[in-house]
Chain A
Amino acid sequence: EVQLVESGGGLVQPGGSLRLSCAASGFTFSIYWMHWVRQAPGGGLVWVSRINGDGSSTAYADSAKGRFTISRDNAKNTLYLQMNSLRAEDTAVYYCARDPAPAHWFDRWGQGTLVTVSS
């Protein structure tokens, strides 16, 4: 069974940092592009970042460029999102999602981890 389990969310002050993890199981992690998508409280879905299978290619939304870094450890079947210089507007549930194509659509999602940026 395909499973994606996020962790690492929590309360952080503005300007602080947080690293999210997404543990994958039930599929060959290394051949799939992976993404982070976020959802502010009561809001819609917003794509944040993606990484290709071997980690050699990444892309970011403008809101994440220069502050967030996506990475992966295929030996550990784990996806990461390092978030620095956090702002109040980064408050959201962060989902990791699998891209089956690759084509930037998402066939499996984790349960999400909540990041709250507040003083």
Chain B
Amino acid sequence: EIVLTQSPGTLSLSPGERATLSCRASQSVGSSYLAWYHQKPGLAPRLLIYGASSRATGIPDRFSGSGSGTDFTLTISRLEPEDFAVYYCQQYGDSPPTFGQGTKLEIK
């Protein structure tokens, strides 16, 4: 199965700053078979990005995704207080679908 490695494990930033989260796959997941979610404590994950770069319904445009093959990036242009959460990438180019271990985005 494809292993996804997210970096950094923890990212400490302040509101208003730019966040860049990385997701690297152990083998190619295809051109765009990658999704991003965030999860706040005690809540279910929420879809942010699918197809590597398409924003899900209702997701603000400060969130953007890029990449292909084995290297993908989620960028949050200006952090809002509600953006501090754990972020997961997920590949669906191969079976079984797999998730990264998560990046915790915390307030500095």
Q: In the complex, A26→B25 CA distance in Å?
A: 35
Instruction: Judge whether B96 and A47 touch: CB under 8 Å.
Output: yes
**Distance (whole angstroms) from the CB of B33 to the closest CB of chain A:** 7
Contact A109 B92 (CB under 8 A): no
Q: Is A106 in contact with B47, judged by CB distance below 8 angstroms?
A: yes
- The digit string for A92-119, where 1 denotes a CB below 8 A from any CB of B, is 0001000000011111111110000000
**Given known A-B contacts A44-B102, A47-B97, A107 and B47 have beta carbons under 8 A apart:** yes
- The listed residue (B88, B92, B102) touching A104 by CB distance below 8 A is B92
- Assuming A104-B92, A105-B97, is B44 touching A112 (CB within 8 A)? yes
Interface SS of chain B: helix, strand, loop or mixed? loop
**B contacts with A, residue count (CB < 8 A):** 22
Residue of B nearest to A64 (CB): B96
Q: Quick one: which of A44, A59, A107, A108 contacts B99, CB cutoff 8 A? A: A44
Task: Count A-side interface residues using an 8 Å CB cutoff.
Answer: 18
Q: Is the CB of B50 within 8 A of A47?
A: no
Option from B44, B57, B92 in Cβ contact (under 8 Å) with A105: B92
Contact A107 B95 (CB under 8 A): no
Most buried by A among B43, B92, B96: B96
Query: Are A109 and B88 touching (Cβ within 8 A)?
Result: no
Nearest opposing residue in chain A for B47, CB measure: A107
* Contact indicator B90/A45 (Cβ below 8 Å): yes
A61 in complex: contacting residue of B44, B96, B101, CB < 8 Å: B96
- A95 CA to B92 CA, complexed, in Å: 18
Contact B98 A47 (CB under 8 A): yes
- By a beta-carbon cutoff of 8 Å, the part of chain B in contact with chain A is 33, 35, 37, 43-47, 50, 56-57, 88, 90, 92, 95-102
